[in-house]
Each structure stands twice: as structure tokens, then as C-alpha cells.
């Protein structure tokens, strides 16, 4: 496990927490590799995650230059693992949840957030396209008009809006967020296993359209990433972050 992903077990619940608060829990390739092995997600330091670590992401992109799609990226393998994961997933979100910090929540069965949570999918702003199946899952969850607002205008939304949209199950004070989420995960773990997993499969339905969309997004993402437009957006973002 990466030192930046804290993993602990509480009874039948496995907890994986982003633990890079000095970088707003920005996710590196090594952190993705650690997350692929364990799910039950939270964040340390009052931030869920600021999304991909841009510097690390560009480094991986350079090494993967010429790849026909984005499957070479740890982030893509992480998302594929999320889509295939059979057990219930619970997320506890406090503070910023940028990019994959928001889109991974589409794959969670229960999401709890604080009023300070701030969800954002700024892919277009970075010259990129949606990922993690969000181009399919956001319209299904929110309706096409709202999905266009969140993905095309890339407008952020707070915890109250997330609750109203049905994106999170409840808002919980920061001091009790993790305990609340772990308690709900423990309640799931105590259910009859076969019935619980069958119910989850039925709720999720046919995963073929999602997997097909993930493949489409990977190809479009790789093409966008290779563009001068995206490179310029990344460089502008990194320059602004240093100020």
C-alpha cells in the first residue's frame, strides 16, 4: 500500500483514506495502485481529493505517449476496478472532491458528505472529456440538462445541492462523518451476504453499457490529452497553483 493511502479494518469494514493533505489529497499513480486493492473511501485533512496530481499525471501521460487509449493510466485501471467491484462501496466526502473525487461517487452505493463538501468535474476546463463513466451516469442520475451544466459548464456544486440532486444520501457534521459512514458500511456487512450482493447486482443492472462507455471515454480522453489545448490548460493550471 502507498504511504499516501491509509488502510484500516474495523470489523468487516475495510477503510481506505486519502492521506496527502499537504497536496489536497491529489492522487498519484502509486495512490491509484493502492486504491485498486481496497475500497471504502474517505479523505484526511478536511479534503476528500483534489483529483489527479497534475504533475504526476503529465509524467504518466508522457510515458504512455502513443498508447491507443487511456487504459495504460492507473486512474483508468482504478475506474475499471470500481465498475467490476462486487461488494458495496461507501464514501465519506469532506471538502473538495474534484474530478475523479466526484466521479468515483457515481460507483458508490452510499455517499455521505459534510455541508462543506464541494463537488466539481472540471474536465472541459482542462481540455479533457468526462471519465469514470460520468458521461453516461451523470445524465442517468441528474437528467441531461443538469448533467450538461455540471459537465459542460463545469460548474461546482456543494453538499446541499448534492443532497437535493440525490447524489449523496445525507449531510453529516465533519466530526462524525467517518464514524457515520463506517457505521453504515458495518450495517451493510451485517446483512445476509448472498441477498445483499444479489440486491446490489439488481440495482446496478446491466453493466455492459457502462463498460462500453468507459472504453469510449478512454479513447476520447487519450485523444484530448495529446492535444495542445489540454497541454496548455495543464500548464496554466500548474502555473496558477504555484502562485
List alpha helices for 64-143, DSSP H: 74-84, 100-103, 134-142
Q: Which domains does the chain have, with CATH numbers?
A: 5-242 (3.90.226.10)
Distance CA 236, CA 155 (A): 19
pLDDT at 39: 56
Q: Which residues contact 53 (CB under 8 A, 6 or more apart)?
A: 23, 26, 27, 28
Instruction: Copy the grid coordinates of residue 114.
Output: 459534510
Which residue's entry shows cell 440495482?
203
CB 152 within 8 A of CB 122: no
pLDDT in tens, 88-126: 999 999 999 999 999 999 999 999 999 999 999 999 998
On average, the pLDDT of the chain sits at 84
Phi, psi dihedrals of residue 120, rounded to the nearest 5°? -155, 130
| pLDDT for residue 43 | 47
Q: Stretch 201-209: mean pLDDT, rounded?
A: 96
Whole-prediction pTM:
0.85
> Can you tell me which residue has the cell 458508490?
108
Handedness of CA 7, 91, 77, 20 (dihedral sign): negative
Residue-wise pLDDT for 119-146, tens only, equals 999 999 989 999 999 999 999 999 999 9
Amino acid at each position: 500500500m502507498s504511504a499516501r493511502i491509509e488502510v484500516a479494518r474495523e470489523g468487516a469494514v475495510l477503510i481506505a483514506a486519502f492521506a496527502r493533505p499537504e497536496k489536497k489529497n491529489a492522487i498519484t499513480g502509486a495512490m491509484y495502485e493502492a486504491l485498486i486493492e481496497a475500497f471504502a473511501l474517505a479523505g484526511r485533512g478536511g479534503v476528500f481529493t483534489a483529483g489527479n496530481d497534475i504533475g504526476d499525471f503529465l509524467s504518466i501521460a508522457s510515458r504512455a505517449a502513443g498508447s491507443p487509449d487511456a487504459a495504460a493510466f492507473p486512474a483508468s485501471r482504478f475506474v475499471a476496478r470500481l465498475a467490476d467491484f462486487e461488494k458495496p462501496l461507501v464514501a465519506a466526502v469532506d471538502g473538495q472532491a474534484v474530478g475523479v473525487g466526484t466521479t468515483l461517487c457515481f460507483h458508490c452505493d452510499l455517499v455521505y458528505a459534510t455541508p462543506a463538501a464541494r463537488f466539481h468535474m472540471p474536465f472541459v476546463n482542462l481540455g479533457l472529456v468526462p471519465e469514470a463513466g460520468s458521461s453516461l451516469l451523470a445524465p442517468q442520475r441528474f437528467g441531461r440538462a443538469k448533467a450538461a451544466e455540471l459537465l459542460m459548464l463545469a460548474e461546482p456544486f456543494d453538499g446541499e445541492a448534492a443532497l437535493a440532486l440525490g447524489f449523496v444520501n445525507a449531510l453529516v457534521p465533519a466530526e462524525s462523518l467517518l464514524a457515520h459512514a463506517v457505521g453504515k458500511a458495518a450495517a451493510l456487512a451485517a446483512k445476509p451476504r448472498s441477498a445483499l450482493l444479489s440486491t446490489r447486482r439488481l440495482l446496478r443492472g446491466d453493466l455492459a453499457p457502462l463498460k462500453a462507455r468507459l472504453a469510449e471515454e478512454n479513447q476520447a480522453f487519450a485523444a484530448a490529452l495529446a492535444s495542445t489545448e489540454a497541454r496548455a490548460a495543464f500548464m496554466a493550471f500548474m502555473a496558477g497553483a504555484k502562485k
